[in-house]
């Protein structure tokens, strides 16, 4: 007989002994006891509270809750049956948030699971964008979006933006413009993250441009803060900050009107002319162009402020709309150095 044959009875004896030990434990545990209703309800309540806390903290974990003498009996029951007490399945992160609505232009939306280089889905005016997604404009397209907080966002050519939340954007490439000062409305502050720094605005109009391994920030109104590596630089209206890839900062001046801002006029959200008052229309033109509106004659502003406008200016830039609308009100204008002077039209 081989050595293996000699070991077989010994292995069988050990197995029989272990089975007898398990049987004694089961007999000692006694019959399976029903968990009291009150204890069961308390357990469910505790487990539910822990589950809610895990959702709030967005942490994936399992909760094992044990308490009281009733739970000790439940534990013995679980052990005898080979079961584990645990909570409901781990909750997934909260649902995406609505962050923006497309107002005009052409843009494609990329989902988190899309492969690199994916074309994405094309959005139409009125379509919504949610947190966690990216939007992209092509080489010859621009877009205007209204953020959930009320701000107006414009995207230039070849621009890629990721929406982290309604108040946080990541500019991966290209150029964007943000106007957070809406007439008669309050809008939330928006931060723009880039590889070269964080741009935070304080109720303003500004442009962020990422290209050629550099970052440029131009401010038309209000103030922004550019931060990098624990340092921060403030930029008021009329100031341009440029950051190189090596972290070198330069500061310059930039006009708040003129050709530098023409691209945002091309994609400005439409103004609803029909039924609007002249004063509101002029406020819109001034904000979009950066022009200051003045009246040549005393009392002319008061006498024309309540003039009601009719028609449509769809397809016209704000500066072009001014040329089309004022003559219908019996008014003319001239522009010089960023100041528009409005006067009674002379026949």
Cα angle at 10 between 6 and 14, to 5 degrees? 165
Q: Cβ distance 56 to 91 under 8 Å?
A: no
Token code pair at residue 70: 């009733």
Q: Is the pTM of this model over 0.95?
A: no
Mean pLDDT of 34-54: 47
Counting the structural domains of the chain, the total is 3
Flag whether pLDDT at 55 surpasses 70: no
Neighbouring C-alpha atoms within 13 Å toward the C-beta of 160: 11
Residue found by looking up tokens 């939330």 in the block: 188
Q: What is the pLDDT of residue 165?
A: 92
DSSP conformation letters of 143-164: EEEEETTS-EEEE-TT-EEEEE
Q: Which of 211, 246, 262 is the last residue of a domain?
A: 262
Q: What is the mean pLDDT of the chain?
A: 79
Q: Cβ distance 137 to 161 under 8 Å?
A: no
Same domain, 107 and 163: yes
- Out of 7-11, 269-273, 302-306, the most confident range is 269-273
Flag whether pLDDT at 3 surpasses 80: no
Mean pLDDT of 290-310: 93
Length of the chain: 347
Q: Which of 22, 46, 81 is the last residue of a domain?
A: 81
Q: How many whole angstroms separate alpha carbon 298 and alpha carbon 263? A: 35
Q: What is the pLDDT of residue 298?
A: 83
Closest C-alpha to 290, from 230, 231, 223, 205 = 205
Please report whether residue 291 resides in a domain.
Answer: yes
Tens of pLDDT, residue by residue over 98-131, are 999 999 999 999 988 887 778 889 999 999 999 9
Q: How many whole angstroms separate alpha carbon 132 and alpha carbon 282? A: 37
What is the extent of the structural domain holding 217? 98-262
Same domain, 68 and 117: no
Q: What is the pLDDT of residue 119?
A: 83
Flag whether pLDDT at 173 surpasses 70: yes
């Amino acid at each position: 007989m081989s050595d293996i044959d000699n070991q077989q009875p010994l292995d069988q004896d050990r197995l029989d002994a272990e089975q007898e030990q398990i049987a004694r434990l089961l007999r000692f545990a006694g019959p399976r006891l029903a968990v009291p209703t009150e204890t069961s309800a308390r357990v469910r309540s505790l487990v539910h509270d822990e589950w809610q806390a895990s959702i709030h903290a967005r942490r994936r974990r399992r909760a094992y809750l044990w308490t009281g003498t009733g739970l000790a009996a439940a534990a013995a029951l679980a052990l005898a049956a080979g079961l584990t007490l645990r909570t409901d399945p781990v909750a997934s992160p909260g649902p995406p948030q609505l962050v923006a609505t497309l107002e005009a232009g052409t843009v494609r939306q990329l989902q988190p699971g899309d492969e690199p280089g994916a074309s994405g889905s094309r959005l139409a005016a009125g379509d919504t964008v949610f947190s966690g997604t990216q939007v992209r404009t092509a080489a010859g397209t621009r877009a205007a979006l209204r953020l959930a907080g009320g701000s107006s966002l414009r995207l230039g050519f070849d621009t890629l933006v990721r929406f982290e939340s309604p108040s946080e954007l990541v500019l991966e490439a290209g150029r964007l413009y943000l106007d957070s000062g809406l007439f008669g409305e309050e809008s939330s502050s928006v931060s723009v993250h880039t590889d070269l720094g964080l741009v935070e605005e304080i109720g303003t109009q500004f442009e962020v441009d990422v290209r050629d391994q550099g970052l440029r920030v131009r401010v038309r109104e209000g103030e922004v803060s550019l931060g990098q590596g624990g340092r921060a630089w403030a930029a008021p209206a009329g100031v341009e900050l440029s950051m190189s890839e090596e972290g070198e900062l330069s500061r310059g001046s930039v006009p708040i009107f003129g050709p530098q801002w023409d691209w945002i006029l091309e994609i400005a959200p439409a103004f609803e002319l029909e039924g609007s008052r002249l004063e509101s229309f002029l406020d819109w033109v001034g904000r979009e162009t950066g022009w200051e509106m003045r009246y040549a004659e005393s009392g002319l502003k008061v006498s024309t402020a309540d003039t009601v406008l009719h028609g449509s200016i769809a397809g016209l830039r704000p500066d072009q709309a001014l040329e089309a609308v004022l003559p219908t009100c019996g008014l003319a204008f001239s522009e010089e150095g960023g100041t528009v002077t409005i006067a009674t039209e002379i026949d």
